[in-house]
Amino acid sequence: MNNKAQSTLEYFVMIAVIVAALFAMQTYIKRGMQGKIRDSADNIGQGFLYSPGATVSSSNISTISRESANSYSEDDPGNPNSKVNISESTVQNTRTTERTEDVLSYAAEPQRN
């Protein structure tokens, strides 16, 4: 009976050592997977990825509005003794947007804390 208890204790210690090793390696496994994903993303994006510190953008928006109004009177075709007032108005809006965006390479990206 003493031999059986010692065997059970040995199995328990061996399982505890394996679990402790997996917990200790968890950070290294996670970083390795993240590095693999980053490498794949760099290959797809040819080394240019969005990063708040490495992306510089500027926008130039210009809006032009033109409005014209014309009012006049004409004789009413149904009643020759009255006139009809006609108002015409035209509004023309033109909006131009120019946007530029530059992305630094990963090596030139500023370090974050």
On whether residue 54 sits in a domain, the answer given is yes
The answer to whether residues 16 and 58 belong to one domain is no
Q: What is the pLDDT of residue 1?
A: 54
The answer to whether residues 85 and 59 belong to one domain is yes
> Do residues 87 and 70 lie in contact, with contact meaning Cβ atoms separated by under 8 Å?
yes
**In which element (H, E) is residue 89 found?**
strand 83-103
Q: What is the pLDDT of residue 89?
A: 87
Single-letter code of the amino acid located at 82: S
Read off the pTM: 0.31
The answer to whether residues 43 and 58 belong to one domain is no
> Do residues 84 and 76 lie in contact, with contact meaning Cβ atoms separated by under 8 Å?
yes
Q: What is the tally of structural domains in the chain?
A: 2
Q: What is the pLDDT of residue 106?
A: 63
What's the pLDDT tens digit per position in 72-89?
A: 888 887 777 888 888 888
On whether residue 7 sits in a domain, the answer given is yes
Residues (pLDDT < 50) of the chain are none
